[in-house]
Chain A
Amino acid sequence: MSIELKGISKRFGTVAAVENVSFSIAEGELVALIGPSGGGKTTVLRMIAGLEVPTEGEIFIRGEVVNDQSVQARNIGFVFQGYALFKTMSVFDNIAFGMSVRGRPKAEIAERVGELLKLLQIEGLDRRYPHQLSGGQRQRVAIARAVATKPLVLLLDEPFGAVDAKVRQELRDWLVDLHDKLKITTLFVTHDQEEAMEVSNRIVIFSRGHLEQIGTPREVYEEPSNEFVAGFIGVLNVLELKVQQGMARCQELAFPAHGVAEGGVLRLGFRPYAVQVSPDLATYRYRARLKHVYFLGVQLRLELETASGLIIRSRMAKEDFRRLGLSQGIEVSFQIREYRLLARDGEPLGQEVSALQSVPNFADGI
């Protein structure tokens, strides 16, 4: 294990920022810490770095307890959210800093800096100062500086936060590429679930100081451990239903009662992709008006409104939308292919349920 946290808590005064968090990360993994702001993910990262001291629990790096080790002694590379480049130093001196304070010989420093400039594709920028660099270049310098001393772990706080959308995409690919080359255990904090899904081997999800789930992108998306994770990783339609005449109902929609007694309340959630839409009013069971169509690139986001005013969110590929002959404002029929029963906040979720018992092949393999 490269990094292991055991029962870590952090309180600032009476406010608990992180509560009883345990997880471990294997050597060479690329892991995202994700959650809404204030969820404790940056605090966890800073505790691993030694910039923050845990109130309780133990942190291990390569099997060694590092709680009492200073930041300097931990040999970690930390990339700050705003990069925190030394503005009075050139790019060369920034990258050389870690080696220079350790008293490495000049020739060795020059060689290593040259190597990193090349690896990070910032050759020729070594004499520039941070203010003369673009956002993307600054980030590369910050990473070069952090890995210059060959740290055991690379920690990045919101590495894509301070650059614009186009550069972000570039940097994501580039980070994966760099991780492949350096093979260094890497943890990064983000609030963007898409980013986390795309870049990392595993995702650690935090909310309000608790660890909600840890797993591969596929695991957390397809088998979310609770409603929070399901809603945070991807979009989730949530319905609150009341059991009447043996069926769980919400306005026009009806689902099996799943054993809930008459008059009882039931919550369920479903992904936008699980909503099937057709312009032929006879195709599916329910009817709605196609209220809005949002263009997202290859995908479209649809907003359906039933006669009673219930809003259902759906997604589909642009090609499907065209093939079906849909357009904004028309009447459509729809159905919900599969859904999940939701438990109360924080409790584990049940298995996904197919709404189409009569067409079993739809539910298979999902």
Chain B
Amino acid sequence: MSAIVRSRLAATKKSRRGSEEHPWARRALIASAMVFLFVILVVPLVNVFFQALETGVMPYLRALGDANTVTAIAMTGMTALSSVALNLAFGLTASWCIAKFQFKGKALLLTLIDLPFSVSPVVAGLLYVVLFGRQGFFGPWLDAHDIHIIFALPGMILATLFVTFPFVARELIPLLESEGTEQEQAAMSLGATGWQTYWRVTLPSVKWGLLYGVMLCNARAMGEFGAVYVVSSNIAGKTETVPLRIFNLDLGLGGHVAAFAVATLLAFLALVTLALKTWLEHRQNQDLILASALPKHEH
């Protein structure tokens, strides 16, 4: 009896597929990836909270309650809100055009949407300084009309807008393309106007993808440093966002604990984003599965 069991075990061990790696090789690869992630990501993240609370809860709360920190949080909120709203409007329009129509310059538009991915944020910031700065192209005219873009909130929003440009559009294009146009045609044959079709049929079919894009866009907007650093004058309590505040505090102006205390805000944002992202991806996958379950035909 035991002999039979033993031989069966041996048989299952041998039945590994030919293309599979040796179990030890597999384990070693997984372990090295885990160790790498732990050292690079988890340890620093935990360390942020550890350092922030090093001297107790009171100094931590005091650092967060600092007037300049509060202003920085408000600035970050305003920058993120404006740039996400603008990108949402742009992303919806661009993705709809790209997914539903054939036109000249479509490839160019797609490439331009991807541009911010390949341009350094610092360069992006500089581009705006060159255009709108005091010595810049539009500088004298703006000065004459008392409009402040560089070293002010509009510049910071512009820079953030540039950096977060691709997120919404890039998320929606493949989704809209996979939906095709049949549902829209059906809506129109039932008497729906263009707007009714868009609001009732097109938009609901991509809502999870849209939320996902908006959330990633927001996370990037709140965390942006380079581009904003270049276009803002970096004045505490005025044109300082949360990432800039952390940088300035760490330079020695407010101390190491305060810097880490503010950093926990961004770390917390990252964790929330991650959780939401996982949930939204799950919902979106379900929608895709549902979509593929419906037969689709081309004309």
Using CB atoms and an 8 Å cutoff, list the residues of chain A in contact with chain B: 42, 46, 49-51, 70-72, 75-78, 80-89, 97-98, 101-102, 129-131, 135, 138, 145-146, 148-149, 158, 161-162
Using CB atoms and an 8 Å cutoff, list the residues of chain B in contact with chain A: 182-183, 185-193, 196, 200-201, 204-205, 207, 290-291, 293-297, 299
- Please indicate the chain B residues that have their CB under 8 angstroms from the CB of A81 in the complex: 297
A130 (CB) vs chain B CBs: closest residue: B294
Give Cα distance in the complex from A62 to B186, angstroms.
22
Q: What are 11 A-to-B residue pairs whose CB atoms are below 8 Å?
A: A76-B189, A80-B186, A87-B290, A88-B205, A101-B190, A101-B192, A102-B191, A130-B294, A131-B294, A135-B295, A158-B297
Q: Are A87's CB and B205's CB within 8 A?
A: yes
Q: Are B297's CB and A71's CB within 8 A?
A: no
Q: Are B190's CB and A145's CB within 8 A?
A: yes
- Please indicate the chain A residues that have their CB under 8 angstroms from the CB of B185 in the complex: 51, 71, 78, 80, 84
**Among B189, B205, B296, contact of A82 (Cβ-Cβ < 8 Å):** B296
In angstroms, how far is the closest chain B Cβ from the Cβ of A290?
A: 42
- Please indicate the chain A residues that have their CB under 8 angstroms from the CB of B204 in the complex: 88-89
Contact A86/B294 with A101-B193, A101-B196 known, Cβ cut-off 8 Å: no
- Please indicate the chain B residues that have their CB under 8 angstroms from the CB of A145 in the complex: 186, 190
Q: Are A77's CB and B189's CB within 8 A?
A: yes
Shortest beta-carbon contacts, A-B, top 5: A98-B190, A84-B182, A84-B186, A88-B204, A78-B189
Give Cα distance in the complex from A131 to B192, angstroms.
23
In angstroms, how far is the closest chain A Cβ from the Cβ of B192?
A: 4
**Among B192, B193, B291, B299, contact of A87 (Cβ-Cβ < 8 Å):** B291
Contact A78/B291 with A98-B191, A101-B196 known, Cβ cut-off 8 Å: no
In angstroms, how far is the closest chain A Cβ from the Cβ of B181?
A: 9
B206 (CB) vs chain A CBs: closest residue: A88
- Please indicate the chain B residues that have their CB under 8 angstroms from the CB of A49 in the complex: 189
Contact A131/B295 with A86-B187, A86-B201 known, Cβ cut-off 8 Å: no
B299 (CB) vs chain A CBs: closest residue: A42
Give Cα distance in the complex from A89 to B186, angstroms.
13
Give Cα distance in the complex from A82 to B185, angstroms.
12
- Please indicate the chain A residues that have their CB under 8 angstroms from the CB of B186 in the complex: 78, 80, 84-86, 145
Give Cα distance in the complex from A161 to B298, angstroms.
13
B184 (CB) vs chain A CBs: closest residue: A84
Give Cα distance in the complex from A72 to B192, angstroms.
7
Residue from B186, B192, B196, B204 with most neighbouring chain A CB atoms (10 Å) = B186
B292 (CB) vs chain A CBs: closest residue: A131
Q: Are B191's CB and A149's CB within 8 A?
A: yes
Give Cα distance in the complex from A228 to B22, angstroms.
63
Contact A51/B192 with A42-B299, A84-B183, A87-B291 known, Cβ cut-off 8 Å: no
Q: Are B201's CB and A51's CB within 8 A?
A: no
A162 (CB) vs chain B CBs: closest residue: B295
Give Cα distance in the complex from A80 to B185, angstroms.
9
Contact A97/B190 with A51-B185, A80-B182, A82-B182 known, Cβ cut-off 8 Å: yes
Give Cα distance in the complex from A89 to B207, angstroms.
13
In angstroms, how far is the closest chain A Cβ from the Cβ of B295?
A: 4
Give Cα distance in the complex from A149 to B186, angstroms.
13
- Please indicate the chain A residues that have their CB under 8 angstroms from the CB of B201 in the complex: 86, 88
Give Cα distance in the complex from A132 to B291, angstroms.
12
Q: List 6 additional A-B contacts (Cβ < 8 Å) besides A51-B188, A85-B186, A87-B291.
A: A78-B185, A86-B201, A131-B294, A146-B189, A146-B190, A161-B297
- Please indicate the chain A residues that have their CB under 8 angstroms from the CB of B290 in the complex: 87, 129, 131
- Please indicate the chain B residues that have their CB under 8 angstroms from the CB of A76 in the complex: 189
In angstroms, how far is the closest chain B Cβ from the Cβ of A80?
A: 5
Give Cα distance in the complex from A51 to B297, angstroms.
16
In angstroms, how far is the closest chain B Cβ from the Cβ of A69?
A: 12
In angstroms, how far is the closest chain B Cβ from the Cβ of A86?
A: 6
- Please indicate the chain A residues that have their CB under 8 angstroms from the CB of B293 in the complex: 131
- Please indicate the chain A residues that have their CB under 8 angstroms from the CB of B205 in the complex: 86-88
A135 (CB) vs chain B CBs: closest residue: B295
B204 (CB) vs chain A CBs: closest residue: A88
- Please indicate the chain B residues that have their CB under 8 angstroms from the CB of A87 in the complex: 183, 205, 290-291, 294
Residue from B187, B190, B200, B205 with most neighbouring chain A CB atoms (10 Å) = B190
In angstroms, how far is the closest chain B Cβ from the Cβ of A220?
A: 26
Contact A72/B188 with A87-B183, A87-B205, A88-B204 known, Cβ cut-off 8 Å: yes
Contact A82/B192 with A87-B290, A97-B187, A131-B290 known, Cβ cut-off 8 Å: no
Residue from A84, A85, A148, A149 with most neighbouring chain B CB atoms (10 Å) = A84
- Please indicate the chain B residues that have their CB under 8 angstroms from the CB of A71 in the complex: 185, 188-189
- Please indicate the chain A residues that have their CB under 8 angstroms from the CB of B296 in the complex: 82
Give Cα distance in the complex from A142 to B204, angstroms.
19
Give Cα distance in the complex from A81 to B180, angstroms.
13
- Please indicate the chain B residues that have their CB under 8 angstroms from the CB of A50 in the complex: 189
- Please indicate the chain A residues that have their CB under 8 angstroms from the CB of B192 in the complex: 72, 97, 101
Q: Are B182's CB and A149's CB within 8 A?
A: no
Give Cα distance in the complex from A60 to B193, angstroms.
23
A49 (CB) vs chain B CBs: closest residue: B189
Give Cα distance in the complex from A129 to B294, angstroms.
11
- Please indicate the chain B residues that have their CB under 8 angstroms from the CB of A78 in the complex: 185-186, 189
- Please indicate the chain A residues that have their CB under 8 angstroms from the CB of B182 in the complex: 80, 82, 84
- Please indicate the chain B residues that have their CB under 8 angstroms from the CB of A129 in the complex: 290
- Please indicate the chain B residues that have their CB under 8 angstroms from the CB of A77 in the complex: 189
Give Cα distance in the complex from A101 to B193, angstroms.
8
Q: Are A82's CB and B190's CB within 8 A?
A: no
- Please indicate the chain A residues that have their CB under 8 angstroms from the CB of B297 in the complex: 80-82, 158, 161-162
In angstroms, how far is the closest chain A Cβ from the Cβ of B205?
A: 6
In angstroms, how far is the closest chain B Cβ from the Cβ of A103?
A: 10
Give Cα distance in the complex from A201 to B201, angstroms.
36
- Please indicate the chain B residues that have their CB under 8 angstroms from the CB of A98 in the complex: 190-191
